[in-house]
Every structure is written in C-alpha cells, then in structure tokens.
C-alpha cells in the first residue's frame, strides 16, 4: 500500500519469515537508493523499533500493520513508476553475491559444525532480541562468538561473557564491528599482513585505523580482537578485554600487545592496568578521551594519547620503522598558509563529518588537548552536546554513524547519501573554514567511498567561492594497498576533488587545528 501525490509515492513491501543480516540489508538499501527515480530506501527487519522508525519517516502504517519481527520490510520513496519497478522485481534485489567467497548452508549450529567441524568462531548478526539466544547456543557448541548485533541488553552481555569465561572462550561484542583472527577479517576489516603485533579494541574503526597504520609502516598484525564498546564499563568489568589480553600473552606469534578503548570504568581501569603490567611482552594502552592515565608503579606499559602514538610505540617495541616514514610528502605548514590567505573574515570553524565514531571521538580529544571546544552528537567531557538542526556557533564534530543517522538507513561506511547532503550544507555555511572527513576502506565498506563524496566536495568548495570565501577540505583515508577499493585510487580521487589527504585521522585533525589557529593569528595580527 502506498501514499503520495502526483508522480511521487512512498510504499512498503513485506517478505514474511525472510531473515537477512543487517550488513546485507544496508547494502541493499544503498544500492536501491542509487536507482533512477528512487529518493530514499530502507531495508530492515520489522522489529518494533524499526516499524516505529518507518512510521516516523512517514510511511503508511497500513502497510506495516501485519509485519512481525521475523519479516523483512523494504520501504521506498520516489517516482511512482520507479518504486513499482523495484517491487515488481524485488527478489532479484535480495540476491547475495556469493562469487567472492565459498559458503556452506546450514540451518543450525549443530549442522554447521557437522559440515565444518574445525570451526571455532561463530559470527552472530541477527536482531538484538534474538542475538543473545543465538550467541548462547554457539557458546554451548564450544564456539567463540563474534557478536556483530547491537541492541543487546547489558545484563545479557554480562551473562554471555561470564559463560564464555568459564568455558575458556571469548565473546567479541555485542556491537563488535571489526576483528582479524589469524589473518581473516570479520565484519568491517582491512587487508593487513600478518605480523607480531596483537591488538584488543572496543572500537571497530579504531581497530581498523591501528591495523592499517601498522601495515603501512611495514609491520603486521597477529590478531586484532574486538570486544564491544561496553566491555570495559564497570557493568561488564572488561571480561572480554582481559581474556583477549591473556590470549595474546599466550600466543606465540604475538610479540607486543596493544589495547584501544574509550576510558574504562573507574573500578575496571585498575584491573586492566594490572593485567597489562603482568604481561611478559611489551604492552601499550590508548584510552581515547581520558584526561590522564596513571600506570601502576613499576609497570612498563606505555600510554598513548592517539591511535598514531599507539602504533608508533608498538612499532618501536618491535624495532620496526616509525610511522613518520608513511606520512604523505605534503608540506602541511605551507598548505595551511596558502589556504588561510584565501579565506574571508567570517570563516573560522572546523566542520567534521565522520563515518567512524572513533575518529569523531579522537578529533574531539585533539581539539581539547589544544584548548579548543566543539559541539558533537557524541561529546567528550568538556565538549558541548549537539543535535542535528542546532545552529552552528563553533567547531562541530559529528559522528554520522550514530543511531540517529543510521536507524533504518545504511551506515555511512556503506552509503554516503546523508553525508553528501551534510557536505553540501557545509559549503553554504559562511563560518565554515575547514571540512574534515574520514574515508574508510576495506571489506564491507562502499566500493568507491571517495568517489561517492568527490562531487559533493567540489560543489561545497564552489559554494564557498561564490560567497567570496574558500573552503579547505582535509580527508584521512583508513585503508591499505591490499583493500579492494584501491588505496592509491581513493587518495587520488580526493586530491582531484581539492582535498588535502592525510594518512590518519590524527594527522588530518591536527592539520585542521593548525589552519584555524593560523586564521585566528592572522586576525589578531591585523
């Protein structure tokens, strides 16, 4: 059933008892949104939250009334003929591309293990209401669990992780976006070489950035284990993090151990530092957003402020090349001076639009360390809470992968539609001096993330020029030369669109800070 006027319509289609995981559905929605005549697309399982989200977006309640959490809902808005064409051939849009990987179909964990008895990791990506049950069954089958699903209750997470610990297993997640186990990427992951550095991370994009930095410096990763964002909270107590550190301590292929996280709970932090201090291997900890971290007396654990520092410390411990060898040959100071000269007196602020939540968090920390404040939808302490629609009156750093942007819509790592619109809005912002972006490569990410943003970057810069100003664009690329998108091609696309390309989020943010600092200094001098 549809609704609309003229040639425009919105409509939904239901597929009863048809389950698809969230990553696949995000890719379906992304593909459909790019079809001629389609303005907006959502592909979701019909959970109560998702049905409410579709109603809030204006889709007809009559079309959703019979849907249950076991059903697939596809919601489209656009030209009537285009919407009808998609629905007439809907099943063809729901076919997975299995060419790149071999797969074995099974209807239960027991059947899967019978067919592939050497397996020791189960990947769970079902709606959060069912995820705990499936993870629990996997643990009973003796499998470690990679729990991609979110919306898992904290009490269920605690029960699963306690059960795993008793069985000598580990639960990576919930809401675990990335991991690399023995060279095999799970979830969103980049192509990195095997090597001596093991990493434990509560953040998916943080794990990706760190592993890419290590790879680009010439070293490699033994294992990279995700834990889920709540693991080091006092509610969970770091069960998976501590288990992962111990596993890497025992692993013969791991010679250095790195832990990446937001600040742990007050009761959990001492446990983490004590376990790291007890390791026989070099250890590094990076707690993004923490004001300060005190290591135990006599501990040799190194404390990093940024992902770049963590990678550099781990590399030096292995006698490998420093990260400076991988930096782009760009005269940032000269670039800053040239860009500042082209800006008018109104321009003074950074506008950050991030696909990676960790990058938004790290950028805030770098600003805070320089005595600057910013508004964000995921604010650090001392930063300001920002919600979409707020008038911009200072620097703004926005995590576009947060729930308010991704409920029922593809993540910006997969689909740049929403981020393109925000890039264009920055081009109309008279006070914007710097547009700060991240581009994330690897398995699961968009096929051409830089290309998806390039035209919007050009148009935003042109908008600033029409007002007599100049918009500086700085982009970091999280990826490696082995990623399917092609690192060099992605960097070239961004440069051709007018962006300064940096090798990391920290470098890009620092360059943005230098530029607005130069603008402030120039005005004071006048």
Q: What's the pLDDT score for residue 68?
A: 81
Question: Cβ neighbours of residue 59 under 8 Å, at least 6 residues apart?
Answer: 10, 11, 12, 75, 77
**Lookup result for tokens 């004001």:** 291
* Backbone phi and psi for residue 403, each to the nearest 5 degrees, phi listed first: -60, -35
Q: CATH 3.50.50.60: does it fit domain 109-325?
A: no
Task: Count the helices and strands in the chain (H runs, E runs).
Answer: 18, 21
CA distance 291 to 369: 9
8 A C-beta contact, residue 317 and residue 279: no
DSSP per residue, 148-169: ------HHHHHHHHHHHHHTT-
Radius of gyration of the chain (CA): 23
Q: What is the phi-psi region of residue 370: left when phi exceeds 0, alpha when psi lies from -120 to 50, beta otherwise?
A: alpha
Question: Which residues of the chain are in CATH 3.40.50.261 domains?
Answer: 109-325, 328-525
DSSP 189: B
Q: What's the pLDDT score for residue 71?
A: 84
Architecture of domain 328-525: 3-Layer(aba) Sandwich (3.40)
Q: What's the pLDDT score for residue 16?
A: 85
- Measured at the CA of 125, the angle between CA 117 and CA 414, to 5 degrees, comes to 125
Q: What's the pLDDT score for residue 127?
A: 76
8 A C-beta contact, residue 268 and residue 293: no
Strands laid side by side in the 8-15 sheet:
2-5, 8-15, 72-79, 38-45
- Please tell me whether residue 510 adopts helix, strand or coil conformation: helix
Determine how many CB atoms are found less than 10 A away from the CB of residue 27.
21
Instruction: Report pLDDT digits (tens) over 78-129.
Output: 998 888 898 888 888 887 654 444 556 677 777 888 888 888 999 998 877 7
- Supply the pTM of this predicted model: 0.85
CA distance 135 to 70: 18
Q: What's the pLDDT score for residue 361?
A: 94
| Segments of the chain scoring below 50 in pLDDT | 1, 5, 98-101
Nearest CA among 309, 302, 305 for reference residue 284: 302
Buried residues in 266-295 as b, exposed as e (16+ CB within 10 A): eebbebbbebbeebebbbbbbbbbbeebee
């Amino acid at each position: 059933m549809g609704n609309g006027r003229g040639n425009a319509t919105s409509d939904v289609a239901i597929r009863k008892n048809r389950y698809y995981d969230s990553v696949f559905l995000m890719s379906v929605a992304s593909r459909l949104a790019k079809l001629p005549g389609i303005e907006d697309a959502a592909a979701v399982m019909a959970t109560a939250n998702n049905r409410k989200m579709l109603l809030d977006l204006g889709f007809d309640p009559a079309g959703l009334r019979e849907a249950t959490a076991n059903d697939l809902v596809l919601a489209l808005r656009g030209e009537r003929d285009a919407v009808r064409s998609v629905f007439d051939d809907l099943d063809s849009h729901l076919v997975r591309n299995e060419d790149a990987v071999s797969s074995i179909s099974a209807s239960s964990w027991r059947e899967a293990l019978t067919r592939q008895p050497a397996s020791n990791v189960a990947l769970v990506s079902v709606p959060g209401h069912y995820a705990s049950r499936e993870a629990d069954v996997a643990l009973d089958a003796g499998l470690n669990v990679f729990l991609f699903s979110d919306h898992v209750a904290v009490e269920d997470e605690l029960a699963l992780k306690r059960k795993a610990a008793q069985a000598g297993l580990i639960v990576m997640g919930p809401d675990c976006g990335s991991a690399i186990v023995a060279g095999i990427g799970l979830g969103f992951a980049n192509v990195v070489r095997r090597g001596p550095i093991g990493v434990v991370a509560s953040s998916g994009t943080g794990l990706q950035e760190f592993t890419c930095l290590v790879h680009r410096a010439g070293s490699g990763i033994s294992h990279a284990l995700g834990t889920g964002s709540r693991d080091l909270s006092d509610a969970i107590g770091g069960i998976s993090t501590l288990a992962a550190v111990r596993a890497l301590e025992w692993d013969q292929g791991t010679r250095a151990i790195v832990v990446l996280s937001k600040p742990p709970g007050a009761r959990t932090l001492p446990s983490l530092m004590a376990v790291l201090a007890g390791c026989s291997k070099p250890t590094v900890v990076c707690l993004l957003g923490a004001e300060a971290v005190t290591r135990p007396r006599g501990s040799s654990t190194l404390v990093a402020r940024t992902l770049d520092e963590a990678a550099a410390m781990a590399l030096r411990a292995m006698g490998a090349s420093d990260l400076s060898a991988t930096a782009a040959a760009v005269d940032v100071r000269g670039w800053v001076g040239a860009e500042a000269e082209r800006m008018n007196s109104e321009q003074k602020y950074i506008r950050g639009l991030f696909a990676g939540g960790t990058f938004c968090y790290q950028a805030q920390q770098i600003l805070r360390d320089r005595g600057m404040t910013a508004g964000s939808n995921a604010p650090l302490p001392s930063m300001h809470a920002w919600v979409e629609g707020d008038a911009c009156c200072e620097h703004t750093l926005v995590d576009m992968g947060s729930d308010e942007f991704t409920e029922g819509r593809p993540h910006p790592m997969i689909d740049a539609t929403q981020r393109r619109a925000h890039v264009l809005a920055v081009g109309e912002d008279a006070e914007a001096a710097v547009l700060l972006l991240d581009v994330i490569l690897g398995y699961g990410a968009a096929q051409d993330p830089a290309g998806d943003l390039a035209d919007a970057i050009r148009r935003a810069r042109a908008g600033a020029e029409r007002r007599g100003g100049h918009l500086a664009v700085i982009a970091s690329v999280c990826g490696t030369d082995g990623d399917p998108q092609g690192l060099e091609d992605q960097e070239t696309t961004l440069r051709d669109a007018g962006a300064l390309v940096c090798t990391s989020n920290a470098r890009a943010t620092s360059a943005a800070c230098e530029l607005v600092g130069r603008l402030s200094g120039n005005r004071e001098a006048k």
